[in-house]
Each structure stands twice: as structure tokens, then as C-alpha cells.
């Protein structure tokens, strides 16, 4: 393989790595945004006795989203380190 061909392959690989990193970063931002949307805002009384269970479920979802976002950020860092 010629040097030019090797350089072209390396450039293509770097472009794919950057695209993957951008996709992971976007996914992390979306998960972080979703984390902030979980729950009910406003009138606390409308769920009645189910409010506690609902809040607990929302808390679990927020924590899961936080973990997912953190893992995506770690993946983003690992991809960037490959460059």
C-alpha cells in the first residue's frame, strides 16, 4: 500500500472516529435533557395517594438516565482518546 493510500485510510478512519464521537456526545446531551424532564411539575395533589410511588419511579428513572449519560460521556472520552 502506498503512503498516499495509507494517509487516505487514516484520514477516513479519523473522520469516522469524529463522527462516532459527535453521535455519542449528542446521545449524552439528549439523555441529560431527558433526565431533567422526568417527573411532574405543578399541582402535587392530582396523583393523590399514588404520588409517593410516582415520585419514587421518577427518581429511579432520573438516576438511571444520569448513569447512562455518565457512561456515554466516558465513551465519548475514550473515542476522543483514540484520535
Q: What is the pLDDT of residues 34-50, one digit of tens each?
A: 988 887 766 666 777 88
Average pLDDT, rounded, for the chain: 88
Per-residue exposure over 44-70, b if at least 16 CB sit within 10 Å of its own CB, e if not: eeeeeeeeeeeeeeeeeebeebeebbe
Alpha carbon dihedral 50, 52, 55, 59, in 10-degree steps, equals -130
Q: Which of 12-21, 37-46, 50-59 has the lowest mean pLDDT?
A: 37-46
Q: Which of 2-11, 22-31, 44-53 has the lowest mean pLDDT?
A: 44-53
Amino acid at each position: 500500500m502506498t503512503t498516499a493510500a495509507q494517509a487516505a485510510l487514516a484520514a477516513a478512519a479519523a473522520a469516522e472516529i469524529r463522527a462516532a464521537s459527535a453521535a455519542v456526545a449528542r446521545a449524552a446531551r439528549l439523555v441529560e435533557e431527558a433526565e431533567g424532564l422526568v417527573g411532574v411539575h405543578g399541582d402535587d395533589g392530582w396523583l393523590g395517594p399514588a404520588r409517593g410511588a410516582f415520585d419514587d419511579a421518577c427518581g429511579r428513572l432520573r438516576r438511571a438516565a444520569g448513569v447512562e449519560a455518565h457512561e456515554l460521556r466516558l465513551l465519548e472520552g475514550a473515542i476522543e482518546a483514540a484520535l
